[in-house]
Structure formats: C-alpha cells, structure tokens
A and B are shown apart, each in its own frame.
Chain A
C-alpha cells in the first residue's frame, strides 16, 4: 500500500478532489518523507512548513465547501530558488541576494497556485543558474539520491533531487543550457524544456533572456505534462511569451508512436559516449523501433558547435542581465565602499562566486569592442545555421532522439577545477535551448553502477504533445519506476548497508 508521498501528482490531485485524502494528509506525508531524506541530500534552502500547512488547510476547506481547487489540488511542489514567490526569500543560490525578499509572484507559480498546488520550499541551485552539478551554490551541497557521493546535476539540482528522493511529486526548475534535463537524467526522473516562449518568464530571475525557460520535473511523464499544462500560455507581462494556443498535453498522451519518424543525428559520435551509455543508447533505439517508430538519419553539422555557441551567447546575455546586481537597489552592498564606483566593484566582487564571475567575464569579452564580430557575431551566425539545420531535420522526422548526457552522474568535486569539462556535460542539451525547440529527458535504464541513464526526445517548436506521447510510450515500455518502489542507494544507507 503506497504512502501518500509515493503517489504521482495526478493521483494525489485525484484523491484530494474526490475526498479520498486531504491536502493536509498529503502534505504531512511529504514533510515526513522530506525530514528523513533531506539530511542526506540537502535539496532545500528553505521548506515552507507553516505556509504550506496554511495553504493545504485552505484547499481542504474549499473541498469541504464543494469547490474544486483545480487539477493540482493539494500537490506539494518544490520551486527552484530563482522563481519569485511574493513575501518569500529568493537567493538564486547566491550571496548577492542574501536577505532579498520577492515582492511579487512569478506567473508560472501563480498558475500553480490557481490550480491548487502547495508550494513546498525553495530548492537549491547553481548560483544564478550557472552550472551543471549544483556545486556552485553559495549555500550548500546537494547530493544525488542514487549515490550520495555524486552530483545531482545542475543547475536545477535541488528541485530534481527533491523529486527523485520522494520529497515532492512535482517541481519547477529552469533551463538555459540543459539545467532541467541534465539533472533529471542524472537522477532518474523526467525533466522538460518547453518551447522557448511557451512558459512566461515573468518572475524568473533572468540569466540569458533568449534561452531561459521554466520547466517541470516529475517522476513520470504524465505528471510532467500536467505540470506544463498548468504553467504554459501567453502572459502580457512577458513580451517573449508566445501567443500560440496551449494544446491538451494529456488528451492523446497514451496514443503510442507507431508510424512516427524519429530522427537520429548522424553527428552523435557513439564512440565518444561512455561504455554503458553506448549500450543503453542502442537499447533505447531498439525500444523505439519495437514501439513501431521508424528511425531516420538526419544531419545537423552545426550541433558540434553548440557548446561553443552557448558559451558565447548565454554568457553575453548573462553579462548584461547580471549588471543589475550592483549593490544599489537590492542585494548585497559592500559595507566598505564610500564611492559609487567602488560600490559596484566591491559589491560584485564580494558577492558573486567564481563560476558566475567567469561567465560574466566571458560574456563581457565576447561583446567588447574589437572582439564582438569575431565572437558574438560569429556565434549568432552559426546559431542561425543550426536553426535552419534542425528545421530541416524536423522536416524529415516528427521527433529527434539523443542520449541526454554523455555520462551518468559524476562524483562531487570531479569537475570543479576544470570548467570546460563541466561545460561539456551539456553537449546534447544545449541545441534545444539555442534553437528554441522543446525537449524532454526520460529515464532509459541504469549503468553498471546502478546510476540512472536517460533518453532525450526533441520536438519541433510547440510540438510538446507529440513529444510527450513518445516519452510516455517509451516510459511504458521501459517499466522504470522511481516511485513507488524507489529506493536506490538512499535505502541502502538507511539500512546501514
């Protein structure tokens, strides 16, 4: 008999709406589970115990009054700490924002609330979303629930670890170069990057405005689709949000993929993948074929430049977006400075971590006079070519598939001194961010160490419904369950093994 914390978001909402369970019971179950695992994984910067209890009580009162709180009634949701929730702290994993309290709520979070969800806590992240391991948080380390000596991935390491460990069934993270999909892959859960513009960025602290998107994280595809359904849609407060109507992602999600064409990029160098990944990748392709899909070869040579392009474009935009952290209006102000210009230098120098500084420097360099054409200009040109190539690929195939990451979860500390090695973790994820298409990471098995592996399915812009259908078909075929039945390495530790 599963515990309430083990249930999917869809099941929880169903039980709360039909009065089989109360929102309060669900919350207490998640709080108890979190209390068990949080000392081991450190996913949260803050848990909203009081506020969550008040909200859950409110949901239960509405149910008692025969009202319907919505499709996420009573579902506890973890929020990456770059998503604004009115009246709550917001740090983006940085010392620069220690003490900052959000004066408004992000649109995506407002929509969760309107659907009856219960914000559970602020989850840890790489500082200002810059990182692939969650090791760049200025506050604490988050550990991979499958192996506590390994990274959960980043930058949405906190929300992903929370979902993977059974703390909450749903979380919101954010993506700029793979920051939902990569940790989802390393922790054996589902992570989605919606089409650029699908979800409002209002209330998401900006890293790279032409790439950023909020994405749902869940233990199964249906929950991820439900999460996106709730938060997606045009928002007058975000001029980059798309007017494209939001479809019904769950309507035909069980429809299967017989007859669908799935494009495999010729440029994926299978030999570059770690041993277990290659075997698992081939198995995934066999599974897709067994489900009735036709694999077709496509080519997009510019994807080999994806990381180089990303580290020019994203860092350039970040250097502009992070200029606002100057100690003037909010955030850390250096107590030493008695001159305005010194204030900027000191506040920023003291507040930002090494990776953030590195990226601001890269971006400033790429945009600086004398280098702008050769770096930023060229990166935009190659990106445009990549866009054309992927558009052409989607002309030949309905969806594309790749491994999500080049390796399973690496050890804590393994890549901190080699920034470039860390950047290469995002080799399969960045093309989707750069070209704006949608992509999902779905668990595809485990390696010989028992660490999760992942398949990435990409859809054309606004092609989320088809992408979810394929991910769901693959998931059903896989039979992978993180919960119920999730135990992983965490259980071994609890049993003293």
Chain B
C-alpha cells in the first residue's frame, strides 16, 4: 500500500512523535518501502489460533510490598510532596 505524508502525520500523532519536515520526508519513503515488503503477507495463508488458550496462572490476591515511593521518585524528572509533577493540559500538541 502506498503510504502518504498524510498517513505518516496521522500515525505520528497516534504515536506521540514529532518529526521535522526532512525527517518526515525520509521516513515516509522508508516506511513505504517496508510496508510494501510486509504486504507480501497477503500471499500467505493464515491459521486460526488454537482453541485452547494456555492456562493462566493467577497469583494469590495478597498485598505485598512494592517499590518504596522514594526509590520510584528518585528517577522522576520532577516531583513534589511525594507526587509526580507534570505541566497542565493546555490543549496543545496536534490532534491529541
């Protein structure tokens, strides 16, 4: 399938990625080539998934210690009073 610049822009928005015009041009070409290669899958037969799903082992529902808050927040870009700090939502960022 022929991937257009418009397609790439829509996908970028979904992926929360921003590109410069040069990056977008190069990426469109590369993705188009790769998607063309992937399109060969249309020529292969598929099979239905096995009816019996693998047994899911459930853990006992018991409270356990988890990562202490200070260790978790040690990697936080910004935090305050034990909470993560983020900018407010002002409605920017494309079609997000």
Contacts and interface: CB of A to CB of B under 8 A. Distances in A.
Interface of A: 99-101, 103-104, 236, 239, 243, 301-302, 304-305, 307-309, 311-312, 319, 323, 326-333, 337-346, 348-349, 352, 354, 357-358, 360-362, 364-365, 368, 374-375, 378-382, 384-385, 387-388, 419-420, 423
Smallest CB-CB A-B distances: 5 pairs: A381-B46, A341-B93, A333-B77, A349-B18, A330-B75
B17 A357 contact: yes
B47 A344 contact: no
Nearest to B3: A365
Contact of A344 (B19, B77, B93): B93
Contacts of B92: 339, 341-342
Interface in B1-44: 3, 7-8, 10-12, 14-19, 23, 27, 30-31, 33-35, 37-38, 40-42, 44
B47 to A, nearest CB: 4
Contact of B40 (A243, A308, A337, A384): A308
Contacts, number: 164
B61 interface: no
Nearest to B39: A308
Contacts of B94: 341, 345
Contact of A381 (B37, B47, B88, B90): B47
A104 to B, nearest CB: 7
Nearest to B42: A378
Given A327-B77, A381-B48, 8 more contacts: A99-B75, A103-B75, A308-B40, A319-B15, A333-B77, A342-B92, A357-B27, A374-B42
A361 B18 contact: no
B74 A101 contact: yes
Nearest to B28: A361
B40 A305 contact: yes
A420 B37 contact: yes
B84 interface: yes
A103 B34 contact: no
B47 A337 contact: no
Given A339-B88, A340-B88, A311 B75 contact: no
A189 to B, nearest CB: 30
Given A103-B71, A302-B44, A420-B33, A308 B38 contact: yes
Nearest to B7: A365
A223 to B, nearest CB: 32
A110 to B, nearest CB: 15
8 contacts: A301-B44, A304-B44, A339-B90, A339-B91, A340-B87, A349-B19, A381-B48, A385-B45
A305 to B, nearest CB: 5
Contacts of A312: 38, 41
A331 B77 CA distance: 7
Nearest to B55: A243
B83 to A, nearest CB: 11
Nearest to B16: A344
A308 B41 contact: yes
A309 B42 CA distance: 11
A342 B87 CA distance: 9
Contact of A349 (B17, B47, B50): B17
Contact of A345 (B7, B18, B40): B18
Nearest to B75: A330
Contacts of A340: 86-90
A339 B89 contact: yes
B34 A420 contact: yes
B90 A338 contact: yes
Given A239-B57, A329-B76, A341 B15 contact: no
A350 to B, nearest CB: 9
Contacts of B50: 384
A419 B4 CA distance: 19
Contact of A361 (B27, B57, B77): B27
B53 interface: no
Contacts of A305: 40-41, 44
From B34, B56, B57, name the one whose CB has the most chain A CB atoms within 10 angstroms: B34
A379 B41 contact: yes
B59 interface: yes
B47 A361 contact: no
Contacts of A308: 37-38, 40-41
A101 B70 CA distance: 13
B80 interface: no
B38 A333 contact: no
B39 to A, nearest CB: 8
A378 B67 CA distance: 40
Contacts of B93: 339, 341-342, 344-345
A380 B15 contact: no
B16 A348 contact: yes
Contacts of A104: 67
B86 A328 contact: yes
A419 B41 contact: no
B25 to A, nearest CB: 13
A484 B73 CA distance: 47
Contact of A311 (B38, B47, B49, B89): B38
A439 to B, nearest CB: 21
